Structure 1
Amino acid sequence: MLGIELEQTRVYREAEQQGEIKATQALILRLLNRRVGNVLPEVEMRVKALPLLRLEDLGEALLDFSQMSDLMAWLDANQIDRVS
């Protein structure tokens, strides 16, 4: 019609990226629950606040975790700078 493919639109690309982030978050949280035990809601919020690249880093790092304190230390070391 307008000569623009749906996949070329900004809205489509953003929706696709959001879907990828949500899927990655879900996978990382499932893996963390198996690796270090039940992840508390406040820890889950910290994980969900990570950008995609940091989520991927966490996915690799969690292979070395054996307890919740390992996850907490990783999150503290990789916290996103927040502007208040």
Structure 2
Amino acid sequence: NKDTITNFFREEIMQESVIYQDILQKGLAKGLEQGLNQGKKQEAIAMIMRPITRRFGSLEPEIRDRIDALTTAQLEDLSEALFDFTEVTDLVTWLQSR
């Protein structure tokens, strides 16, 4: 258990171990990847919302929530589909099909 390991090894020794460093590096890499993906998605949402808001005005919260729930790939698809939308119901229909 954690207490046994902590009592057996001092923190400084653990931090210097190759296994500890490997685990730490993997965790940092995973966190960095997740952060980059999150940032990419937020930027895609912002890029989608600008033309949507300009064309249709303010959206109902339910529609905004549906857009927020899309994957990055779906947001990219939506950015292309926007060219075919003439009214907000086109957007709603597109979201319902996803």
TM-score by length of 1: 0.79
- The match for 2:92 is 72
How many corresponding residue pairs?
A: 77
Higher relative contact order (CA 8 A, sep 6+): 1
Is 2:86 the counterpart of 1:61? Answer: no
Partners of 2:81 and 2:57 lie apart in 1 by 16
Between structures 1 and 2, the one with greater helix share: 2
Mapped contact 1:25–1:48 kept (Cα < 8 A):
yes
Correspondence for 2:47 among 27, 30, 34? 27
Is 2:17 the counterpart of 1:18? Answer: no
Q: Which amino acid aligns with 1:20?
A: K
Partners of 1:49 and 1:25 lie apart in 2 by 10
Q: Structure 2: any 5+ residue segments left out of the alignment? A: 1-20
Where 2:91 maps in the other structure, the secondary structure is helix
CA deviation map 1:3-52 (0-9, x unaligned): 998xx811111101100001111111111111222211111000000010
**C-alpha RMSD of matched pairs (Å):** 2.2
Runs of 4+ aligned structure 1 residues displaced above 3 Å come to 2-5
Is 2:80 the counterpart of 1:42? Answer: no
Give % identity: 35
